């Protein structure tokens, strides 16, 4: 029985002697991957390109859905240009370069103008309100005549028409807000997912490069391929951790 503790300690030492250098190497790979990706993001507007593509595709799909639901042709490009005019006075770079939370907040602010003046923003209304009831959208675009009267001048029937208009506006506004929340969640998730995939691929390339340059052994073997996969996955997962640590340090310094 006296040999069991010694055997356990020996096993722990053997594992630590192997795992610690490997963990340090993988951490270094993750830091290098993070630094490379961050440099590319700082030098090139890759996030802006991604968000422009994502929002354009989202509006195109919504316009297609609205056209199918209502039977009315909706121009997604007109909706996109209208959105840019309402959010950043026609500057697409200023809009798509925002963080996704700020981008959707600007879109949400533009929704208020669209709901107040729906006839002037028909394509954007249909695109943003693709999930809304066609009857509600038609009511916003063609409001009843009593809606232009003072509240004190309305009859009981006319008040019912105005109430129906207000209810339709509220329903459309809530659905648009929820769809923008979905846009924010989906775009943010996809962006982080793409960065993770790039981190994994880059980490694998760094390990292959290191073995190719600093060893004389063949690098394309079954054993080495398994090592590449493990190193790529670990380095790819450590890269976001390193990025978060750097961001936290920057916040503390500020």
Q: What's residue 34's pLDDT?
A: 78
DSSP line for 158-206: HHHHHHHHHHHHHHHHHHHHHHHHHHHHHHHHHHHHHHHHHHHHHHHHH
Would you place residue 179 in the very low, low, confident or very high pLDDT band (cuts 50, 70, 90)?
very high
Residue 2 pLDDT > 60:
no
The crossing angle, in degrees rounded to 10, of helices 100-116 and 46-70 is 40
Of residues 26 and 38, more confidence is placed in 38
More confident residue, 159 or 48: 48
241 pLDDT band, cuts 50/70/90, is low
3-state SS assignment for residue 218: coil
Q: How far apart are CA 174 and CA 155, in angstroms?
A: 29
**8-26 burial by CB neighbour count: b if 16+ within 10 A, else e?**
eeeeeeeeeeeeeeeeeeb
pLDDT for 3 equals 65
The answer to which of 53-67, 182-196, 236-250 has the lowest mean pLDDT is 236-250
Per-residue pLDDT at 144: 74
> For position 120, what pLDDT does the model report?
92
Percent of the chain with pLDDT over 90: 37
How many Cα atoms are found within 13 Å in the side-chain-facing hemisphere of 92? 13
């Amino acid at each position: 029985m006296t040999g069991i503790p010694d055997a356990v300690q020996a096993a722990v030492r053997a594992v630590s002697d192997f795992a610690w250098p490997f963990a340090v190497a993988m951490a270094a790979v993750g830091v290098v991957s993070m630094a490379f990706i961050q440099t590319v993001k700082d030098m090139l507007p890759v996030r802006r390109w991604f968000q422009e593509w994502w929002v354009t595709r989202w509006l195109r799909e919504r316009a297609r859905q609205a056209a199918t639901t209502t039977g009315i042709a909706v121009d997604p490009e007109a909706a996109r240009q209208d959105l840019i005019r309402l959010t950043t006075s026609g500057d697409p770079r200023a809009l798509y370069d925002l963080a996704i939370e700020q981008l959707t907040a600007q879109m949400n602010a533009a929704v208020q103008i669209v709901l107040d003046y729906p006839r002037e923003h028909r394509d954007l209304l249909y695109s943003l309100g693709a999930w809304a009831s066609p009857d509600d959208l038609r009511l916003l675009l063609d409001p009843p005549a009593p809606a232009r009267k003072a509240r004190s001048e309305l009859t009981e029937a006319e008040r019912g028409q105005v109430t129906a208009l207000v209810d339709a506006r509220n329903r459309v506004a809530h659905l648009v807000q929820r769809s923008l929340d979905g846009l924010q969640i989906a775009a943010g998730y996809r962006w982080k997912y793409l960065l993770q995939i790039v981190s994994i691929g880059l980490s694998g390339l760094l390990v292959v490069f290191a073995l190719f340059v600093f060893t004389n052994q063949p690098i394309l073997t079954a054993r080495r391929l398994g090592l590449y996969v493990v190193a790529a996955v670990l380095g790819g997962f450590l890269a976001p951790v390193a990025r978060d640590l750097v961001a936290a340090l920057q916040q503390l310094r500020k």
